[in-house]
Chain A
Amino acid sequence: MSSREEREWWPRLKARAIIKELKISHPSDISIEDIAWNQGAWVIDDGVSGCDARLLHTPGAGMARLRVRKNLSPPGKRRFAIAHELGHLALRHRPGQPSECSDKEFLRWYNGQSDKEVEANVFAAELIMPESLFEPRATSTRPSLETIELLASDFQTTLTATAIRYVQLCGRKCAVVCSANRRVDWCWPSPEFHYWIKRGQELRGNCYAIDFFEKGPHALEMREAQEVPRNVWVEGESVRDSISEQSRPLTSYGSVLTLLWIA
């Protein structure tokens, strides 16, 4: 078992236990406020404006209070924020003093965070996109952003969180890449995708994701699935081999999310 698998094992197990206990069998059963209440946290949509969410819990002092920024949107972001804070509660994290999560940047929501933050994110992903419900839907279709958008709609999750979950569970050679300022910001490969896309790597002129920065978020070529030479994305790969690429603009972040896959 790798060190990542080791640190993800416990939060996954905790989230799965809740899914099992509550007999959740359909994405529409995942009412995050009701699950939070059932697990001892009261979600209040008000009272914080300097952060997205805040969990206050004193062991032995009744319900934890989970404040969420009013009108936090999109709804998927709100759900993830609640599930993340619920993760701290379920995993019995003790901040000791009022403190801040190191999650400063949602698009870098995973790598480089402290163990507690990683665990809370793993818990949240498993709770709102349970493997038992997500995997059958992800493996039964060919990779595309349309599939991921449909899953995001079913599970009421953000495109980014859904795309990461998709590559984790779809069983295909694919990866999700987020680019900002014409460079790769992060890449999340599926276990089957044995290529390395470097963080900070400059986007090549012949990839389609770069259209977001050159032509704007409405560039159609970027939105449609396209075949490009594999070396456009993967350094050192043959120009004769191809890779499929499809992107969506994340306008509010000034970023573009790309799905890559090899047939």
Chain B
Amino acid sequence: MKPNNKRPSEAGQFLNNLESILADASPAGEELAESLREDGFDPGQLDNDLRELLKQHAPTWKQKAERERQAALKTLSKAKAALSRTRAETEQLIQSTVDAMQKLGAPATAGAYHQKFQTATDADLESLLEDLEAQYEALKAKKSNE
């Protein structure tokens, strides 16, 4: 198990325990809830707030992935369709990006698996170029950090 997956699980367990204590009708649970109310806290609200805090600071792998995906989506280029490039120009750019990546020492030519391939439309080539350029930038950044 990766270490970063352990923390949320332990924190989640803590919250579950806290929730069961607060929901517990035994004197200890009632006592704790009453004590919180006396101090001006709503036990239910406190539990919700703690869960929200946990989601932000110690998210599960799924919450973390979802949050990062949503943030990444905002970086996607939306204006590509409006480009007035010819297909041949796009193909040329793809080739030169692949060449540039190889010069940076990419261990293999960027490989693409297609499922149920029919034909590469102009839009397919544009998105391929966009993806290649993103990977080229990532490679460049990595090289400059080395």
Complex: A47 Cα to B73 Cα, angstroms:
13
A65 interface residue (CB < 8 Å to B) = yes
Complex: A47 Cα to B9 Cα, angstroms:
37
Q: Beyond A21-B2, A29-B62, A61-B142, is A98–B69 a contact (Cβ under 8 Å)?
A: no
Interface segment among A49-57, A144-152, A191-199, A237-245: the answer is: A49-57
Contact across chains for B101 and A50 when beta carbons are under 8 A apart: no
A211 interface residue (CB < 8 Å to B) = no
Contact across chains for B115 and A58 when beta carbons are under 8 A apart: no
Q: How far is the CB of B38 from chain A (nearest CB, A)?
A: 38
Contact across chains for B2 and A57 when beta carbons are under 8 A apart: no
Contact across chains for A21 and B1 when beta carbons are under 8 A apart: yes
Interface segment among A99-107, A154-162, A201-209, A218-226: the answer is: A99-107
Contact across chains for A99 and B119 when beta carbons are under 8 A apart: no
Residue of B nearest to A35 (CB): B65
A165 interface residue (CB < 8 Å to B) = no
Q: A22 — which chain B residues lie within 8 A by C-beta?
A: 5, 61-62
Complex: A44 Cα to B77 Cα, angstroms:
12
Contact across chains for A34 and B114 when beta carbons are under 8 A apart: no
Contact across chains for B108 and A50 when beta carbons are under 8 A apart: no
Q: Which of A58, A101, A104, A120 contacts B110 (CB 8 A)?
A: A58
Q: A85 — which chain B residues lie within 8 A by C-beta?
A: 113, 115
Contact across chains for B69 and A37 when beta carbons are under 8 A apart: yes
Q: Beyond A56-B132, A57-B110, A100-B117, is A48–B124 a contact (Cβ under 8 Å)?
A: yes
Complex: A57 Cα to B2 Cα, angstroms:
23
Interface segment among A87-95, A168-176, A253-261: the answer is: A87-95
A31 interface residue (CB < 8 Å to B) = yes
How many chain A residues touch the partner (CB < 8 A)? Answer: 50
Interface string of B53-78 (1 = CB under 8 A from A): 00000000110011011001100100
Q: How far is the CB of B98 from chain A (nearest CB, A)?
A: 9
B42 interface residue (CB < 8 Å to A) = no
Interface string of A61-82 (1 = CB under 8 A from B): 1110101000000000000010
Complex: A52 Cα to B134 Cα, angstroms:
21
Name the prevailing secondary structure of the B interface residues: helix
Contact across chains for B123 and A47 when beta carbons are under 8 A apart: yes
Residue of B nearest to A93 (CB): B113
Complex: A14 Cα to B67 Cα, angstroms:
25
Q: A98 — which chain B residues lie within 8 A by C-beta?
A: 110-112, 114, 128
Complex: A143 Cα to B111 Cα, angstroms:
42
Q: B68 — which chain A residues lie within 8 A by C-beta?
A: 37
Binding site for A on B (CB under 8 A): 1-2, 5, 9, 61-62, 65-66, 68-69, 72-73, 76, 101, 106-121, 123-124, 126-128, 130-132, 134-136, 138-139, 142
CB-CB nearest 5 A-B residue pairs = A47-B127, A100-B117, A62-B138, A95-B111, A34-B65
Beyond A84-B115, A101-B116, 16 additional contacts (C-beta under 8 Å) are A37-B65, A48-B123, A50-B121, A51-B115, A54-B124, A56-B110, A56-B131, A58-B101, A58-B139, A60-B142, A63-B138, A65-B131, A65-B135, A98-B110, A99-B114, A100-B113
What are 10 inter-chain pairs, A to B, with CB distance below 8 A? A23-B9, A29-B62, A37-B69, A43-B69, A44-B73, A47-B130, A53-B116, A57-B110, A62-B135, A62-B138
